[in-house]
């Protein structure tokens, strides 16, 4: 079973206004609400691709109930730990070509809540895969992902991490199986500048060799991606299309990689599927479907470096 962990989920409240006026009355032209958070997005995309997962993490209050009800209605398994405080709401307002985001305050996670999650993970089996994705609530330490990956490693369970900043810097010390930073996040990991593909490859190889990370996929948006790992060093082109929806593209790439790697065991095919999945979401108004991904797949050319 694949498990996704979202430590800081949210209701994403998406609002479309004609022309936003600061300090004035703005009327919504359209709006919708959906369960948000990177791990939850990965579960949603896995389901659309034909895979199955169980969503884990923390939810609370009436907003947390919205998230669990949403996942139940869409057929996604979940087993969240219940908090005393409400899950946050993130506002995403679209006005013309501009997007404005206001992220809500994270609920407090007590030490007993966190321990309950660690105990929950102790029940998993070696054949399971765990994907940890997204930001950390302010009440949790920046070393949280590193601690969880280390525990999973002791249990013989593969862990995937998709985050950024200090939590990622800490997480790589525990040698997760797969990470997917973009080229800016890669440079930040080593406190250096990236000026070309050779710099990217050099730093990704350091992640392989020094941190024992099996698969590293460096995303570069419209410029495609570079994979470095058990499958060698690969340069992957991005499909051509009009980007209309950046939210969830990275989560879709993670889901695509794990889905195809579980299916075939070939990192090259997984990397190709990841790029197609991320692009399919970017070209759509919502998260990608399997049909959209496979329509783009032939455009993702792979070059062995």
Q: What is the spatial distance between Cα 181 and Cα 111, in angstroms, rounded to a whole number?
A: 29
Statement: residue 245 has pLDDT above 80:
no
Mean pLDDT across the stretch 239-250? 84
- For residues 6 and 132, give the distance between their C-alpha atoms in angstroms, rounded to a whole number: 7
Report the distance separating Cα 168 and Cα 145, nearest Å: 8
Of 152 and 23, more confident: 152
Closest CA to 223 of 305, 164, 279: 279
Under 8 Å between Cβ of 171 and 163 = yes
Q: Per-residue pLDDT tens for 114-168? A: 999 999 999 999 999 999 999 999 999 999 999 999 999 999 999 999 999 999 9
Specify the pLDDT at position 100: 86
**What pairing do the DSSP bridges indicate for beta strands 232-236 and 225-229?**
antiparallel
So what's the pLDDT on residue 204?
96
Closest to 237 in 3D by CA, of 293, 182, 301, 281: 301
43-57 burial, b at 16+ Cβ within 10 Å, e below that, comes to bbbbbbbebebbbbb
The pLDDT-based confidence of 290 (bands split at 50, 70, 90) is: very high
pLDDT higher than threshold 80 for residue 97: no
Averaged pLDDT for residues 290-303: 95
Q: Encode the chain in three state secondary structure.
A: CEEEEECCCEEEEEEEECCCCCCCCCCEEEEEEEEECHHHHHHHHHHHHCCCEEEEEEEEHHHHHHHHHHHHHCCCEECCEEECCCCEEEEEEEECCEEEEECCCCCCCCHHHHHHHHHHHCCCCCCCEEEEECCCCCCCCCCHHHHHHHHHHHCCCEEEEECCHHHHHHHHHHCCCEECCEHHHHHHHCCCCCCCHHHHHHHHHHHHHHHCCCEEEEECHHHCEEEEECCEEEEECCCCCCCCCCCCHHHHHHHHHHHHHHHHCCHHHHHHHHHHHHHHHHCCCCCCCHHHHHHHHHHCCEEEC
The whole-number average pLDDT for the span 52-60 is 97
Share of the chain above pLDDT 70, in %: 100
Q: Count CA atoms within 13 Å of residue 4 on its CB side.
A: 33
pLDDT at 246 over 80: no
Q: Average pLDDT of the chain?
A: 94
Average pLDDT for 41-45: 97
Global pTM reads 0.93
Mean pLDDT score, 66-91: 96
Catalytic residues: 251
């Amino acid at each position: 079973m694949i498990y996704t962990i979202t430590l800081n989920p949210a209701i994403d409240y998406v609002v479309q206004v004609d022309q936003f006026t600061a300090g004035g009355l703005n009327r919504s032209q359209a709006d919708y609400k959906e369960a948000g958070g990177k791990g939850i997005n990965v579960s949603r995309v896995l389901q659309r691709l034909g895979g199955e997962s169980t969503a884990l993490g923390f939810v609370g209050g009436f907003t947390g109930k919205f998230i669990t009800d949403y996942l139940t209605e869409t057929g996604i398994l979940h087993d969240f730990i219940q908090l005393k405080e409400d899950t946050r709401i993130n506002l995403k307002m679209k006005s013309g070509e501009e997007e404005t985001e206001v992220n809500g305050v994270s609920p407090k996670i007590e030490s007993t809540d966190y321990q309950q999650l660690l105990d929950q993970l102790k029940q998993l089996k070696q054949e399971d895969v765990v994907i940890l994705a997204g930001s950390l609530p302010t009440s949790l330490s920046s070393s949280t992902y590193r601690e969880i990956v280390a525990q999973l490693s002791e249990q013989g369970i593969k862990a995937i991490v998709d985050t950024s900043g200090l939590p990622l810097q800490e997480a790589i010390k525990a040698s997760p199986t797969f990470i997917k930073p973009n080229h800016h996040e890669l440079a930040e990991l080593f406190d250096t500048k990236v000026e070309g593909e050779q710099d990217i490859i050099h730093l990704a190889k350091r992640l392989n060799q020094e941190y024992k990370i099996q698969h590293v996929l460096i995303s570069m948006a419209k410029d495609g991606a570079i994979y470095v790992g058990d499958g060698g060093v690969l340069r992957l082109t991005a499909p051509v299309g009009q980007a209309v929806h950046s939210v969830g593209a990275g989560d879709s790439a993670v889901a695509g990689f794990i889905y195809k790697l579980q299916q075939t065991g070939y990192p090259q095919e997984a990397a190709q599927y990841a790029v197609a999945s991320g692009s399919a979401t970017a070209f759509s108004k919502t998260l990608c479907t399997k049909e959209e991904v496979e329509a783009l797949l032939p455009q993702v050319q792979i070059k062995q470096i």
